[in-house]
Structure 1
Amino acid sequence: MASPTIPKEMKALTSSNKSGTVTTIPVPELRPTYLLIKVHSVALNPTDWKHIAGGLHGDPWSIVGCDYAGTVVSIGSEVTKSFKVGDKVFGCAHGSNSSQPYDGVFAEYAAVKGDVAMRIPDSVSFEDASTIGLGSITVGQGLFQQGKGLGLELPFEGKGNDEWVLIYGGSTATGTLGIQFAKLAGYKVITTCSPRNNELVKSRGADEVFDYNDPACGSKIRELTGDKLRWAWDTVGNDSSAKVCAEALSSHGNVCHFGTILTNQLPRDDGVKYTSTLMYTVFGEEFLKFGQTFPASKEDFEFGKYWFELTEKLLKEGKLKNHPAKVGDGGLDGVLKGLNDMQNGKVSGQKLVYKL
């Protein structure tokens, strides 16, 4: 396929001064390890509005957005994964990157890291594909990557032996993927959600579901597991979620492991192992965030390549279901409204998706 004509300018949602703005900027230059894609659909994540509200962006701005689906229009010379112009791809990017302002995907064109991009199967729409990338690698790092997350047995490579694992926040986009991957690895999954989302998490494979609003939620999980729960993974990341996990895990702290996608602490000091993950290390590049420099991690990049190959394979084989997508109108202006709705707690059990 001949390379399509690429314009010099595009519309993008950029962040500066703690606000998001749809503006016209130059199309990103093609970097050696990147693909340039024409963006078709994007999906929203809490990290998107949090970066805007927290003023986490480059100088003077950064493009917002992590989850994407689109079509390849140009391929960098150092991309090793086999792509061709015209391929339909999906994945996640480092949105609102203060170190590289063009890394976000809420734009008509986007630069995305080539070796961690995935092909969209013919059976999957752009809209559904765009919901998967960030959640998938968050699951990979948090539940399975050795030395980083819980280090569970890998799907199809090990046996969970029907041991219990608690995934707090099962009706989140990350939670529904986490449930599926944990089941594929042979674990029995306990999860928490609002009762209105019980059917959603059960449809993804959850064995037991508890209402996180129940003050006895944690103690009921401990009772169910006979005080033997060793693994708890928190996809929400606040004091309330950590409290439930603390009460659910076995009273024998030295055999337990608590993992979180944020930095909330477990209110126990009896030897429970603690890990916290940050998705953005998967691209293998140094970046600045929260006033801290994160060095490039070859280990995380190599794991990311493995994990996204697995995700692509499972999606193609129909063994992985995306989070329910709610497709909105208005393009980039709609994205801004959707981010505001997320910030105000108006989204539950669905992933907001917009066509660009």
Structure 2
Amino acid sequence: MVQAVVVSAPAVLSIENDRPMPTLRDNSLLVKVVSVGLNPTDWKNGLRSQPGVTVGCDYAGIIEAIGPAVQKPFRVGDRVFGSVHGCNPEQPSDGAFAEHIIARADLATVIPENLTFQQAATLGVSLVTIGQSLYQTLRLPPPPPTIHPEPTPSASAPAQYILIYGGSTSVGTLAIQFAKLSGYTVLTTCSPQHESLLRTRGADHIYSYHDTSTPQRIRSATADQLTLVLDTISTPETASFCGNAMSSHGGDYTALLPGSPVPREDVRSRWTLAYTAGGYEFLFHGKRMPACPEDRDFTVEWLATATRFLAEGVIVPHPVRVGDGGLNGVVNGLHALREGMVRGCPWGVLFGLASCWGVWLSDRRVGIWGVLPTQRWVNGMLQILMMGGV
């Protein structure tokens, strides 16, 4: 039996202490979880999901068993990271927030030696999302296989611009780095206290999203040539902001959530859904989503590429902080994400599909990186009633 964070009643998350050990599948891995990352999608799906499902997507851990159909050269004892389909009504045990989980082998990756479990646990959803948004949807050219430390762009080559709205999110800091590898001049937005972080990640131009003149300043700075936008926040307000910054000739905008297109007919608005990387049909908010084998094939290749850059130190993971807690800290962290309590985090990654919140599980001790309430409050938070809309 294992412990897990589950939806125990409509809109209620709690810890179940006697969850059955998940059954190994042919193409999967049995993983003992060491670290998990908390994402806004986790609490949002927790609000909508039926009771009995396990919550969570991002994990890092140690392989304990390998399915007979697995083709990748994993070994028992390997350190691995990835993402799973949490809150899945058709596979209720699939969530990441448990002591042992079943993970798809094709979407799992050996953790590079230079990364900790805590760092790796922030990467699963973020890397899939960046691959889908930058390279499948916006069609950026892939990074070259060999990265030179000090690239010297041609003086005659026109600048290629991309705006990454919400650069201080986990998706944002990674997307900035990959867009730079692909040869783009990166513009981004954040609060002033996060500018130094984004400078270290390679952002060329940083703007305050609080300033109402910023969209026009971006349009002027890019000589009306900004045609590519990744919006990691994905609200009607941010879509409007991005639309006002984009070229008067139109362009492509991609979001991480549905329902907030740019209000311009000459801008093609799309959104990505990391769950399609599994390559199978699934239910999403009551709607059956078709299988996308091309997404699965792309993601397998993309994760190998992205992990190589991480192993070489070319790409740097999002910052994390580690504190104390208990397994109930997972539930507490989801509550904090929903209530906006992560805004005080030095890296300010409340938004986006991955945040700086993560949890380190080891011998039933949990460390949480992010903004922590008091230890007494963490240990007492065994159950959170999630009320209201998204």
Identify which of 33, 41, 44 aligns with 2:35: 41
User: Partner amino acid for 2:210?
Assistant: N
Q: Which shows bigger deviation, 344-353 or 216-225? A: 344-353
Separation (CA, whole Å) in 2 of partners of 1:120 and 1:157: 20
The corresponding residue for 1:26 is 20
User: Partner amino acid for 1:14?
Assistant: V
User: Partner amino acid for 2:77?
Assistant: G
Q: Which shows bigger deviation, 257-266 or 152-161? A: 152-161
Identity %: 42
Deviation at 1:157, TM superposition (A): 6.5
Alignment partner of 2:168: what SS? coil
Separation (CA, whole Å) in 1 of partners of 2:55 and 2:91: 11
Matched, 1:353 2:355: no
TM-score with structure 1 setting the length: 0.92
Alignment partner of 2:341: what SS? coil
Separation (CA, whole Å) in 1 of partners of 2:101 and 2:159: 42
Structure 1: 5+ residue runs without aligned partners?
1-8
Deviation at 1:34, TM superposition (A): 0.8
TM-score with structure 2 setting the length: 0.84
The corresponding residue for 1:156 is 144
RMSD (Å), alpha carbons: 1.6
Matched, 1:323 2:315: no
Separation (CA, whole Å) in 2 of partners of 1:331 and 1:311: 32
Deviation at 1:267, TM superposition (A): 4.0
Separation (CA, whole Å) in 2 of partners of 1:225 and 1:319: 27
Separation (CA, whole Å) in 2 of partners of 1:173 and 1:266: 22
Query: Could you tell me whether the CA contact under 8 Å between 2:243 and 2:264 is conserved in 1?
Result: no
Separation (CA, whole Å) in 2 of partners of 1:32 and 1:271: 47
Deviation at 1:210, TM superposition (A): 0.6
The higher-RCO structure (CA 8 Å, 6+ apart) is: 2
Separation (CA, whole Å) in 1 of partners of 2:121 and 2:135: 22
Alignment partner of 1:95: what SS? coil
Aligned pairs, number: 340
Deviation at 1:156, TM superposition (A): 1.3
Separation (CA, whole Å) in 2 of partners of 1:162 and 1:67: 35
What do the CA deviations read for 1:257-300 (whole angstroms, capped 9, x no partner)? 11111114334333211211100000112111111101221101
The corresponding residue for 1:308 is 303
Identify which of 316, 319, 330 aligns with 1:335: 330
Query: Could you tell me whether the CA contact under 8 Å between 1:35 and 1:111 is conserved in 2?
Result: yes
Alignment partner of 1:63: what SS? coil
Q: Which shows bigger deviation, 327-336 or 22-31? A: 327-336
Matched, 1:50 2:38: no
Separation (CA, whole Å) in 1 of partners of 2:114 and 2:252: 38
